[in-house]
Amino acid sequence: MNKHPKNIRLTVSLATCLSLAGCAGSQYETVAPLSESPISSVNNGLCTATQSEMTIPVGDTFADGDWVRDFYSGDKARVENGEVTLTPAPAAEGLILLEAADAGQKSFNWAGATVYFTVTDRFANGRTDNDSNYGRKPDGKDEIGTFHGGDFAGLTEKLDYLKELGVNAVWITPPFEQIHGWVGGGDRGDFQHYGYHGYYALDFTQPDANFGTREEFRTLVEEAHVRGIRVVMDVVMNHPGYATLQDMQGFSFGGLREGFEKHLPEQWGEWQPESWENFHAYHALIDYDHPHWRNWWGKDWVRAGIGDYDTPPNASIDPVRGSLAFLPDFKTESDKAVDLPLFLQNKENTRATQLDDATVRDYLITWLTGWVREFGVDGFRVDTAKHVEPAAWQALKTQAQNALDTYRSNNPGQPLPAEDFWMVAEVFPHSVTRSSYFDSGFDAVINFDLQEEAHAGATCLPEMEAIYSDYSKKMNGDNPFNVMNYISSHDTQLFSRIDDNDPALQKRVASALLFTPGTSQIFYGDETGREFGPTGSDGHQGTRSDMNWTDIESGKADPVLSHWKKLGQFRARHPAIGAGAHTRLSAEPYVFSRIHGDDRVVIAFGKE
């Protein structure tokens, strides 16, 4: 680093940032992966679930004489003296899921929703003819940071799978056109890192050709809505993507050091390091003081520390104006009217147009809410929320709601979306607390605590009681709020990685997650034991391995997957599981109720 001009520091991102696993959220904070204890220490606490008959107190949840049904087995029983007696189904892991015998599907509630998070490029490849675009190429090695072929068409084909899993919202990574080229990946620059994850935006108005077409995105949203599945789109207002050799050449911005063009091939993006170099070495060819950097985003748009651009402060000192992972930082706080960036003015395939008297924030909000207005997107998962001023998020929420209202008015035949636009914030390391983000347009915030806490519940569900009780009391207090919980993420670790692919724990963690108060987020493959993939010197890349469809098709994943489906379907029928008040009814067997309005369930777990 010290051998390069100081101006390159905002572009040599992946050489110096620990996590850079897609520039989404906590990786900006250089969060280390969760500690991986030996699996024996986890299995030592694994309690034995009963397969014997259980007497279950139901408290005031169901009255004497009421008929209730165990959703898992289908068996029914009549409440007598405040109790029922039932036997868990053989595959139920000691669980009995009680609902009224005549219960039907209850109305959707975001706090009771199950959100399935998929990295589009790594989930399902519906069309192989769109796998190569913009000159992008596989690396022929581990393909750590390259595009793998997943697309909107593939995700659409798998919507029935998500429906069977009880999913009622799907969170997709940003669909925008990404930088065409790559940057050096990992601390060691040991792989080519493309924007396969969607967090390196080039053009916010166009879908990336590797993900599919506008019509394919429209079909995805409409088909999801037909199945009662809402679509939550990941959005970024903190930064665009990096500058790359390929984009510098293709869009005529930036410049090389004098005489250094001879070190590049005809297509700059095909540059390869010498045997003694790594993929960060191309920065030595670039003149970061060249006047043609004005042809990129321009100094009125971003802080980037190159050319005549402002240099951002350290993000730990000024989180709003600082640079995350050395990415160009949008000036969303500026009240200065700006012109459309020169490279977008000259870009042939764009819907970005000049806006009158518009600020950077105005442009970004117009571009992002355009996806709501055109396609009926139901919500946003907001990346790096604490690194943009709160007023911007409130403005985004207001205009997204207006866009949704417009979509509903123009598409009266669509059964979804709901009337209210939903926004969830990614704020590392937010926990279960009502923070100021709920006053800035957000309906929920991601909870970073459960990933660690859920391991105790995977070994024995009663270990979750203190957590369930605490979460419920906090979220259903005098000033209610909601959080979104997870056990795996693209920024931290896979549960399957931590439990050493133990099927018993992968199966049992379903109840720990899906019974937690608040919105539950399943990271693709949580339900099938998807394995950690190649990762290089970036410890998070392996969390984005390809979805393990072969394990599903062969039946290998079925014992775990079937259990997740049963619990997911029960949760989908009863939003009270996530949104309702939690009351423990018995310690042995472990029994609790969740009640939300007229929606009520009792969940029991028995151990030998």
Residue with tokens 């105005």: 362
Q: 68 by DSSP, 3-state: which?
A: strand
Query: Where does 296-359 have alpha helices with state H?
Result: 342-345
- Per the CB < 8 A criterion, the answer to whether 292 and 254 are in contact is yes
Which of the following is catalytic: 378, 426, 526, 546? 426
Tell me the backbone φ, ψ of residue 332, rounded to 5 degrees: -70, -20
Tell me the angle at which helices 450-459 and 503-514 cross, rounded to the nearest 10 degrees.
120
C-alpha to C-alpha distances, 143 to 20, 137, 272, nearest whole angstrom: 16, 10, 15
Which of the following is catalytic: 383, 463, 502, 599? 383
Residue 374 is a catalytic residue:
no
Q: Which candidate, 185, 141, 197, 180, places its Cα nearest to that of 22?
A: 197
Residue 83 is a catalytic residue:
no
Q: What sign does the CA torsion over 65, 69, 70, 74 have? A: positive
Residue with tokens 């220490």: 41
d(C-alpha 195, C-alpha 200), whole Å: 5
For every residue of 437-489, DSSP letters joined together read: GGGTT-SEEE-SSHHHHHHHHHH-GGGGHHHHHHHHHHHTSSS---EEEES--
d(C-alpha 60, C-alpha 45), whole Å: 33
Q: Which candidate, 223, 210, 219, places its Cα nearest to that of 127?
A: 210
Q: b/e per residue, 41-54, with b = 16+ CB within 10 A?
A: ebeeeeeebbbeeb
- Per the CB < 8 A criterion, the answer to whether 528 and 137 are in contact is no
Q: How many residues does the chain have?
A: 608
Going by their DSSP bridges, the two strands 590-596 and 581-586 should be labelled as antiparallel
Tell me the angle at which helices 214-226 and 360-375 cross, rounded to the nearest 10 degrees.
60
Query: Residue 95 pairs with which residues in a beta bridge?
Result: 605
Q: What sign does the CA torsion over 567, 569, 573, 577 have? A: positive
d(C-alpha 192, C-alpha 557), whole Å: 32
d(C-alpha 188, C-alpha 146), whole Å: 17
What one-letter code names the amino acid at 490? H
**Catalytic residue annotation:** 383, 426
